[in-house]
A and B are shown apart, each in its own frame.
Chain A
Amino acid sequence: GESVGLHLPTLSVQEGDNSIINCAYSNSASDYFIWYKQESGKGPQFIIDIRSNMDKRQGQRVTVLLNKTVKHLSLQIAATQPGDSAVYFCAEIASGGSYIPTFGRGTSLIVHP
């Protein structure tokens, strides 16, 4: 999950396992959520998004789940590969607000071959 400390939470998995990265968001008015992947030396890259009228959305090897009751978002990566190693950020946007995303601190995913 997200951290407010100096160190990013880290998830270590074996290649081929499924990974689940969690995010607790803060604003109950947020209605649009995005997951980003950031590899070393690169900018955050869009992975998948979900709007609040949905509770699940699937992409290629990735699934995002949204639980508005407890303000929780998760990213599931199937058959994790070494190339999935990166820092993953969730972002929330409240359409009735500034439309500017609020980013979490990120979770570091390490995939061992």
Chain B
Amino acid sequence: DAGVIQSPRHEVTEMGQEVTLRCKPISGHNSLFWYRQTMMRGLELLIYFNNNVPIDDSGMPEDRFSAKMPNASFSTLKIQPSEPRDSAVYFCASSDGLIRGLSNQPQHFGDGTRLSIL
């Protein structure tokens, strides 16, 4: 089975440019998560969706960051304008949990997008 698919794998761009990261969750999963990973701060949750609806975006660092999930099989994370401090690895994860009354289920991660803002 295909896992979570992220694109691009690597992105290098100059500050001020718009960056769009893409994610295709595992088919049938109803929850999608965007994380950022740095050595300084570890793995940080940015936003998560349940049934395509954003539930909590309190981890989004600034208004420069936005995320959408137009359908169950696609999500984007956009940074506009980008800054050097946004450089990190961005992960998308999906799960079929997050429903009260059902057992929690682990998240399945993509291989990430390594973003470098010059």
B109 touching A89 by the CB < 8 A rule? no
CB < 8 Å: which of A43, A51, A93, A98 contacts B111? A43
- Which of A16-24, A65-73, A100-108 is the contact stretch? A100-108
**Which residues in chain B, 74-103, are within 8 Å of chain A measured between CB atoms?**
91, 93, 97-98, 100, 103
Q: Which residues on the A side are within 8 Å of B107 (C-beta)?
A: 46, 101
Beyond A98-B56, A99-B98, A100-B48, whether A46 also contacts B108 by CB under 8 A is: yes
Number of A positions contacting B (CB below 8 A): 23
Residues of B in contact with A, size category: 20 to 34
**Which residues in chain A, 32-61, are within 8 Å of chain B measured between CB atoms?**
32, 34, 36, 41-46, 49, 51
The residue on B at minimum CB distance from A106 is B42
Q: Which residues on the B side are within 8 Å of A32 (C-beta)?
A: 104
B109 touching A43 by the CB < 8 A rule? yes
* CB proximity of B45 to chain A, nearest CB, Å: 6
A93 touching B4 by the CB < 8 A rule? no
Say yes or no: is A95 at the interface (Cβ < 8 Å to chain B). Answer: yes
Q: Which residues of A contact B (CB under 8 A)?
A: 6, 32, 34, 36, 41-46, 49, 51, 89, 93, 95, 98-101, 103-106
9 closest residue pairs by CB, A with B: A43-B109, A32-B104, A46-B106, A103-B43, A105-B42, A44-B109, A43-B111, A99-B98, A34-B106
Sample of 18 more A-B contacts, CB < 8 Å, known A42-B112, A100-B56: A6-B39, A34-B106, A42-B111, A43-B91, A43-B93, A44-B93, A44-B109, A45-B109, A51-B103, A51-B104, A89-B43, A95-B104, A98-B56, A99-B100, A100-B48, A101-B107, A104-B42, A106-B42
Q: Which residues of B contact A (CB under 8 A)?
A: 4, 33, 39-40, 42-43, 45, 48, 56, 91, 93, 97-98, 100, 103-104, 106-112
